[in-house]
Amino acid sequence: MLSFQNLPAEILFKIAQNVGGAYLRFRVDRILLCKSWYSVTQSVLWDDIDLSIDSFERYLQAAIDTQSFIRSRAKSLSISGTHDNFTITLLPPSETEIDHQETLCLAKHRTLLLARYTTLCNSMTTFSTTLPKMHKLRTFTLKLSSQSTVYTEPDNQNTWTDTLRCLVTSLPKTLTSLTIDKLGQTSRFSTGMRNPHAVCKVVLAKDALPALKHLRLRTHCICPSLFSAKTIESQGNLKTLVVALDAYSPQVGKVYHAHRCTQPQQSSRRLFDDMREAAKVAVEAGCFPSLKKLRILRYDVQELAFYSHDVVSGREVEVSETVEWDDVDWENRSKMDSNVGQTSLDTNELLVGEELDEAVVVIPSAPEIEIPVPTTLTINVAVDG
């Protein structure tokens, strides 16, 4: 019977793939079982990288050689987490000071939010300059959530719009799967940006991501220009496309809504209707010859329910508030299925969300992978003379 260290390299490689890079990176001793195992694990150790926001910012502070090493090996990269997980503590006020303290707390919170968003956006922009060098990257996921219930100024949205556009336009052309899941508040007030589009005019632009097969979008702003035949021409490899216009945020207990890039005051229902028609025209024009699924997720503020609309068939089914990306069995669901569990959301909160026309994303929890502290390994191999 072969011992572990005598197994063929092909078998060791399969074992390493099944175990996964995250498991191997967690403890150094897991890659030091034997010389053959150590050599094999180097091929998969940094294939799949899942960074929290804190880990992502530490990665940007790592040595240039370390960053270059990781970039040269990453095939799948995910950046996820809450970007405003801080609290403000004030001394208990007296009855006469309550209003003043609340005003002070709110102003301080907004200032900290703006500073935090600016810092994170700058980090994302810096990171974008290195993305074209990730020649092996096939999958990229950005999932940003918010726990803040404090309304921020529209200028903050401008910062995120520019950041997301910079990020998408910097992605390597080898990418086959892209998820942009950005949670945040929106405003119905136009900020007068010269280019108010975050991803609509760049993500499906000609030759932007020619190998892209799977695309999922949920951003604070979106519009029908995403499906403009003049911009996208033909996406021959794209197989699945899911756009989420609304989402339930468990952090704040509300449903938020994306706003239209150029007309933020437009209702969420009107935005859905226009997106649906534009997508239908693009499909009929042959812009997506390999497409198997094109669906739009929305929230009906009158029925207080989520729906997934299939653009190709025109079919629509009700889905649970916990469904994030149309992960339902369509074959066993009748149109406008009434058997889906009743939503547990509070009606008043939902109406407030619609009036503000805010965009929020449901972010799934992901295991946090810490970048290990640099470690020097010395391996002594005895050679029979």
- CA 318, CA 299: separation in Å to the nearest integer? 10
| pLDDT score of 76 | 94
Distance CA(253)–CA(249), nearest Å, equals 6
Q: What is the pLDDT of residues 47-86, one digit of tens each?
A: 889 999 999 999 999 999 989 988 998 999 999 988 666 5
Helices (H), 20-153: 21-26, 35-41, 53-61, 64-71, 98-128
* Res 343: pLDDT: 35
User: How does residue 349 score in pLDDT terms, banded at 50, 70 and 90?
Assistant: very low
Bigger pLDDT: 146 or 238?
A: 238
The H-or-E segment that residue 259 falls in is strand 259-260
* Per-residue model confidence (pLDDT) at position 174: 95
Q: Which DSSP symbol is given to 172? A: -
Please state whether the predicted TM-score (pTM) of the whole model is above 0.85: no
As a whole number of angstroms, the distance between CA 31 and CA 269 comes to: 54
- Decide: 146 and 184 in contact? Cβ < 8 Å: yes
Span 284-294, pLDDT tens digits: 989 999 999 99
Q: Using only C-alpha atoms, what is the Rg of the chain?
A: 23
